Amino acid sequence: MPVMRITNRAVESLRPAAKPYIVYDTDVKGFGVRVMPTKRAGGTSEADGNKRPTGKKSWIIEYRPGAGGRGCAKRRHKFGEVGVLSAEKARTHAQRLLAEVRLGGDPAAQANAERKQLTVAELIDEYLTEVDARLKPRTAAFYRDILIRLVKPELGSRKVDAITRPMLSRLRLSLKDTPYQANHMLAVVKAMFSYAEAHHVVPEGFNPARKIPKFPDLLASVF
């Protein structure tokens, strides 16, 4: 198991090999840098000697989750790329993650769960299936229009559990010239997150559309 004092200069000196390898830090147990292997160029054979290094290096931690000990299999978690995160910043971040492990955390499992989390676009598609089956066609078409035309373009690529009240407030403000649409957008999104909560897509009580004020009823203000 190769070890060294991980610094920017030391990491720069590491060269790709035939297989991936990891060099561990001498100071922080479990912190290391993974170096990816050489890669064949243009479909040539390895015997031609025409290889090119990928040059990809990543920061990782290795740990045993839970109570630890030899009976618990090691897990590896990649948390950044060399060149994006300096060696010192990576070491600091690794120390924080490893401290979380000692408190019962599992960074690899958490990252995996986050990757599996639905995007808003995926939730919209799932929710509209429910809407089409449960609501009258005219109401379902109204929900579909609101979500596909107003919400999906702005928030569709974001993970569902990353949506915040300020995000929805900004979307509401962007619709201030059509307050009727803005208010209905909030109502539909609130209903969608209630569906997500009921189906355990988001934690209980998580609904960022709650407590966002609606625009005044303009018709009521005329009288």
Structurally, the chain folds into a number of domains equal to 2
Q: Is there a single domain that holds both residue 111 and residue 124?
A: no
Domain end, chosen from 116, 136, 163, is at 116
pLDDT at 219 over 50: no
Domain end, chosen from 116, 136, 154, is at 116
Instruction: Give the phi and the psi of residue 76 in degrees, each rounded to 5.
Output: -120, 135
Q: Is there a single domain that holds both residue 8 and residue 111?
A: yes
Element housing 4 (H / E): strand 3-4
Q: Is there a single domain that holds both residue 125 and residue 155?
A: yes
Domain end, chosen from 116, 141, 156, is at 116
Q: Is there a single domain that holds both residue 66 and residue 125?
A: no
Measured between alpha carbons, how far is 32 from 111 in angstroms, rounded to an integer? 18
Element housing 79 (H / E): strand 75-81
| CATH number of the domain bearing residue 112 | 3.30.160.390
Strand, helix or coil at 125? helix
Assign 49 a pLDDT band (cuts: 50, 70, 90): very low
pLDDT at 37 over 90: no
Q: Is there a single domain that holds both residue 104 and residue 37?
A: yes
| CATH number of the domain bearing residue 176 | 1.10.150.130
Alpha carbon distance, N-terminus to C-terminus of the chain: 79
Residue 215 CB-half CA count within 13 A: 19
Average confidence (pLDDT) over 128-151:
94
Q: Is there a single domain that holds both residue 106 and residue 10?
A: yes
Q: Is there a single domain that holds both residue 112 and residue 10?
A: yes
pLDDT of 221: 38
Assign 48 a pLDDT band (cuts: 50, 70, 90): very low
pTM above 0.75, yes or no: no
Domain that holds residue 135: 120-222
Asked whether 64 and 72 are in contact (CB, 8 A), the reply is yes
Measured between alpha carbons, how far is 41 from 27 in angstroms, rounded to an integer? 37
15 or 67, greater pLDDT: 15
Q: Is there a single domain that holds both residue 38 and residue 124?
A: no
Q: Is there a single domain that holds both residue 103 and residue 135?
A: no
pLDDT at 80 over 50: yes
pLDDT at 193 over 70: yes
pLDDT at 47 over 60: no
Q: Is there a single domain that holds both residue 153 and residue 54?
A: no
Q: Is there a single domain that holds both residue 56 and residue 141?
A: no
Q: Is there a single domain that holds both residue 93 and residue 143?
A: no
- Sign, CA torsion 150/151/155/158: negative
pLDDT of 165: 95
